[in-house]
Structure 1
Amino acid sequence: MATGHQVDLLVIGCGPAGASAARTAAEAGLSVLLIDRRSKIGDPVQCAEFVPLPMARHVKRTGTLVQTIATMTSFLPSGAQDISDFPGLIIDRGAFDRALAAEAGAAGATIWTDCRFLGWNGKVATLQQGERTVPVSARCLIGADGPHSSVAAALGLKPQPIVQTRQYTVPLRRPHTATDIYLSDRFPGGYGWLFPKATVANLGVGADRGLGPDLKTPLDQLHRDLAASGLVGTDILHRTGGAIPVGGARGMVHGNTVLVGDAAGLTHPITGAGISAAVISGEAAGHAAARWCAGEPKAFVEMEDDMQELFGPTLQRGVQCRSRFQPLWHSTATQDDTVMRHGWIAFEQYFAQAA
């Protein structure tokens, strides 16, 4: 790596948002450097690996489909079950990330792995790869570095509110085509889930650590319950976990610096879904970077307006729902099925509330 490296666009983070931004910008003719702090892109996977049907073209293009999903089963505190149409796709998330990165590389982006972002003054970024500190001059920068974004911190932004997750991969004992959602006070500020993945399943829980600091105990209990039912095996094949931003969208554009995906708070505050928003916002930011570098000063602002129009109402509804539920956790209210229906997207009560 040469000291004084210069590019049009520097992208921090090689997940779906960053790789999509790098690809679209490189296809538009920009010189692009895409970096990731991990030594292997896509590893570890911190995701339940479900994407909605509108992502099908990306899944097909990358060849990362594992199985299809037809319905969602929501389990309420009383034990009642509600089945709703909720078609989607389960993907191999690690392979998906690597395929998107490969597309960015094929489009002309340079990719550095095992590389950390240390700082940015609006003109020069300081990166570290191994023992070497490397300055990189860039006309603009895209931060796609997740919920604990170092780019956002460099801009002086406050940390995002987050929910912590813990997930096991377990054997699946019979074919399953539904995503199962467990709504319970055992998972305050979050929920439990089982997402089938052919012969295995991603079994996890998410919770607000301020309300439920122990994720292992409720996850182990959920695992025991489902193993006793015969749906899953007792073995734990893989463990993972991570953070999900739940504060809604924050400012994406800061001069010549743009945040996308989880770093921009575009993750759904109730479901935690974020892959689709990451790809969409990444592609939009890559196109906007090309326009901005071509002399269109409003390109980034117009991009943010488009993203706000697309995601804003949904994110606002989710944030307000979280706010309404915050004082209810660990009270008798969360034992009431009717109350819990107001807090989950599968039910009409959730959408009947003013956003």
Structure 2
Amino acid sequence: MIPHVQVLVVGLGPGGASAARRAAEAGLNVLAVERTRRIGEPVQCAEFVPSPMGAYTRADGVLYQRISGMKSVLPSGEVHQSDFPGFMINRARFDQAIAEQAVEAGAYLRVQTRIDGLDPVARRAILRSAAGSDEVSYDVLIAADGPHSAVGRFLGLPALETVNTRQYTVTLLSEYADTDIWLSDEYPGGYAWLFPKGDRANLGLGADRRYEDDLKAPLESLHRQLVQSGLVGEEIFSRTGGAIPVGGLREHLVQDGCLFVGDAAGLTHPITGGGISAAVISGERAGECAAAYLDGQADAFDEYEEDVRDQFEATIARAVSRRAYLNRHWRTQSAQHDDTMRKGWIAFSEYFSPAEA
């Protein structure tokens, strides 16, 4: 007989771990699978969460430091200072801490296990690990498997639009409480950043490969500039990178009994790339939705779709519009103008005004 679980969670980032935790806390039989060897690794983000996420930073080993502000550097070199309270976290520990809470609540977790096939009509999934493949049936599937979601692919859904990132971890030579952002045509479709975390910092950039396919050269150049300024050291402790969805929400967040959360749902902010808090919130809501559905609430899936869209859709739609505006200017002279960048970055009031052609 094929083993059965009430909830199958695919992906154990912050969205999947949060979904597994909430579903298990509701007393459901939960299986969550993660394709990597260790939950949360490799880290592929800048590791910042906004201040409302403070409660999630309290587990041992999660918090690096508090952040108070943001410095946005325009093409002219003008620096705009703004309040930007939040926390720098150890992202791997952040994800692991939520997953540990899911286990404590009764969820069963399997690492080095990926989804290798899906029959949404029969509600059966094929899971593959080093030991081979096995089949499991489920009542609800929660897809938290990132911007290149295998669940989405098996359902025949269109791929999400993404940009690529590259990041170094370097020595930070003095105490620092701000995040630094560089807005420039050198990083078309994205931006560069320095995010401090104690005596080290994450230095990275994102760019749209339609405009710039070489992320290494501009990052090396920025690193050299900051070494020369005395802000960071020459040594690079680690290198990472990944894809960030920037095209906005999927057309449907629920498809064939599968609930999409976090990056897999397209919930990442298309301008900033921030997605941890949206992943946690949507994951928690998906776990609660699964419990409501299995308790007989016929409209539970509709409520999930409506609730998540109510919370995130307007903000994400504005960011999608801003990306479209900036895409008309990359690699043109106007991309060198401060006014253009002001309209495309969240720290400026112009971002919230109607975009111009």
Query: Under TM normalisation by the shorter chain, which class is it?
Result: over 0.9
Find the aligned partners of 1:350 and 1:188 in 2 and give their Cα distance. 17
Find the aligned partners of 1:327 and 1:82 in 2 and give their Cα distance. 24
Percent identical residues: 53
Q: Is the 8 A contact 2:342 2:348 kept in 1?
A: yes
Aligned to 2:108: 110
SS for the counterpart of 1:180 is: strand
Q: Is the 8 A contact 1:75 1:81 kept in 2?
A: yes
Q: 1:4 to 1:242 in 2, by over 3 A?
A: same
Aligned to 1:284: 285
- Give the drift of 1:354: 6.3
Equivalent positions of 1:66-145 (< 5 A) are 66-122=64-120, 123-145=123-145
SS for the counterpart of 1:282 is: helix
SS for the counterpart of 2:328 is: helix
- Give the drift of 1:301: 1.1
Is 1:202 matched with 2:166?
A: no
Over the residues paired in the alignment, what is the CA RMSD in angstroms? Answer: 1.1
Aligned to 1:171: 171
Aligned to 2:47: 49
Aligned to 2:304: 303
Find the aligned partners of 1:266 and 1:327 in 2 and give their Cα distance. 23
Find the aligned partners of 2:97 and 2:55 in 1 and give their Cα distance. 13
Aligned to 1:325: 326
SS for the counterpart of 1:170 is: strand
Structure 2 unaligned blocks of 5 or more:
none
Aligned to 1:260: 261
- Give the drift of 1:261: 0.3
Structure 1 unaligned blocks of 5 or more:
none
SS for the counterpart of 2:232 is: coil
Report the TM-score when normalising by structure 1: 0.98
Find the aligned partners of 2:327 and 2:339 in 1 and give their Cα distance. 16
Find the aligned partners of 1:64 and 1:318 in 2 and give their Cα distance. 29
Q: Is the 8 A contact 1:269 1:319 kept in 2?
A: yes
- Give the drift of 1:131: 3.9
Find the aligned partners of 1:341 and 1:129 in 2 and give their Cα distance. 48
- Give the drift of 1:296: 1.1
SS for the counterpart of 1:328 is: coil
Q: Is the 8 A contact 1:177 1:196 kept in 2?
A: yes
Report the TM-score when normalising by structure 2: 0.97
Residue identity matched to 1:294: D
Moved over 6 A (4+): none
Note the alpha carbon deviations across 1:322-341, whole angstroms, 9 max, x for none: 11111210111011111110
Residue identity matched to 1:78: S
Note the alpha carbon deviations across 1:138-162, whole angstroms, 9 max, x for none: 0110000000000011111111110
Q: Is the 8 A contact 1:62 1:96 kept in 2?
A: no
Find the aligned partners of 2:166 and 2:96 in 1 and give their Cα distance. 23
SS for the counterpart of 2:17 is: helix
Residue identity matched to 1:200: R
Residue identity matched to 1:172: L
